[in-house]
Amino acid sequence: MDLVQNSDIAHHSSGPHEQLITALPMAVAAGAAAASSSSSSTTAPSLSRYESQKRRDWNTFGQYLRNHRPPIHLSHCSSGHVLEFLRYLDQFGKTKIHTHMCPFFGNSNPPSPCPCPLRQAWGSLDSLIGRLRAAFEENGGKPESNPFGARAIRLYLREVREVQSKARGISYEKKKRKKPRPQHHHQQQQNPHHPPPAPSAA
């Protein structure tokens, strides 16, 4: 699922970042439609869902850089610009994040609506960064200068995870799977080996 639609970006062109960026035009959608129509006439294999999403995310980020004031070339993109992009996406979020003053803070299933803000979910941002990190290197970027893999990005995502976990009352910790016991050990327990009986005297 896309984090943000281009039509939504155009609709939300005015906001806290209006001095830094302009609304992303519909060129991305038009370009995607043109690419789709041209690809249908060729014998190129269709992209997987992951690859298609990665391409859309990369195009959206590139459009964001071009509409930045002043525009930013990809070679000059830093982790600071990536953080700015992630915060910008929050205005299109659909996940309710309760504030400390909200009576539903820490409630994973609030009984009624509240005026708390909507944000991008941590899981969506984490997946987005993973796709953009891969796309950066696939488009000629060097791994050592990848802004999506910078320490500042990891710290930001960690902070978002902790804040949202507490606000929503949801644990993002991965459950540890129990290692299966070796089958031969299990069989030894069921059929313990006994030494053969001593032969009887004639």
For 96, phi then psi, to 5°, come to: -75, 125
Cα–Cα distance for residue pair 177/145, rounded to 1 Å: 35
Residue 6 CB coordination number (10 Å): 21
Q: What are the boundaries of each domain within the chain?
A: 6-36+54-172
Cα–Cα distance for residue pair 168/37, rounded to 1 Å: 42
Q: pLDDT tens, 128-170?
A: 999 999 999 999 999 999 999 999 999 999 999 999 999 998 8
Angle of helix 151-168 relative to helix 79-89, nearest 10 degrees?
30
Q: 161, 169, 172: which is closest to 104 by C-alpha?
A: 169
Cβ(124)–Cβ(161) under 8 Å? no
pTM value is 0.65
Residue 19, pLDDT > 50, answer: no
Residues 6+ apart with CB under 8 A from 137: 143, 146
Q: pLDDT tens, 30-74?
A: 444 444 454 444 455 788 999 999 999 999 999 999 999 999 999
Give the pLDDT confidence score for residue 129 in this predicted structure. Answer: 97
